[in-house]
Amino acid sequence: MVRVVIDTNVLVAALRSRLGASFMLLQRVGTGAFQHALTVPLVMEYEDVLLRPGMVYLAPGAVQDVIDYLCTTGIDQAVHFLWRPLLPDPKDDMVLEAAVGAGCPWIITFNTRDFAAASGLGVTAIKPADFLKLLERPR
């Protein structure tokens, strides 16, 4: 089964609208379509961003339920190495560390350009819609 790391911007999009690929991706979490990995710093980032006033149109309790579900269904990946900085944004390095540590070939994000250097570590940044298409391909 393919492993991925879901960037925070994808969760924001999923919780702001039920119409896009991000929401469709979130609906597939925990179904066996793919596995997602997370680290403690990544979960803290999810909470920090998603619980900001006005960021998403859900009550804080509902947002926390989504984060708890992600923690329950995800692979808890410890990070035993630090090779920062590699990417322009230190928070993107944190996402990349989770992917490398968990052996994820994909980071699902809207900021694919910001993760260009990740290819040197065997990780490819892909947009949610493109990842969903990848999942639908016959194997």
Interval 87-130: pLDDT, tens: 888 889 999 999 999 999 999 999 999 999 999 999 999 999 99
Q: Give me the domain span that covers residue 111.
A: 3-136
- Given a cut of 70, is residue 82 above it in pLDDT? no
Q: How far is CA 29 from CA 73, 93, 96, 124, in A?
A: 7, 23, 20, 19
Q: Where are the beta strands (DSSP E) in 1-139?
A: 3-6, 35-38, 75-76, 106-108, 124-126
Domains identified in the chain, total number: 1
Sheet containing 35-38: order of strands: 75-76, 35-38, 3-6, 106-108, 124-126
- Given a cut of 80, is residue 139 above it in pLDDT? no
Using pLDDT thresholds of 50, 70 and 90, give the confidence band for residue 81.
Answer: low
Average pLDDT over residues 8-19: 97
Q: What does the pLDDT read at residue 80? A: 74
> Which CATH number covers residue 50?
3.40.50.1010
Using pLDDT thresholds of 50, 70 and 90, give the confidence band for residue 38.
Answer: very high
Q: Name all contacts of 92-99 with Cβ < 8 Å and 24+ positions apart.
A: 94/39, 94/41, 94/42, 94/45, 95/5, 95/7, 95/8, 95/42, 96/121, 96/123, 97/39, 98/5, 98/37, 98/38, 98/39, 98/42, 99/4, 99/5, 99/37, 99/123
Average pLDDT over residues 42-56: 97
The predicted model scores a pTM of: 0.94
Q: What does the pLDDT read at residue 84? A: 67
Using pLDDT thresholds of 50, 70 and 90, give the confidence band for residue 83.
Answer: low
Q: Which of 21-25, 31-35, 84-88, 133-137 has the lowest mean pLDDT?
A: 84-88
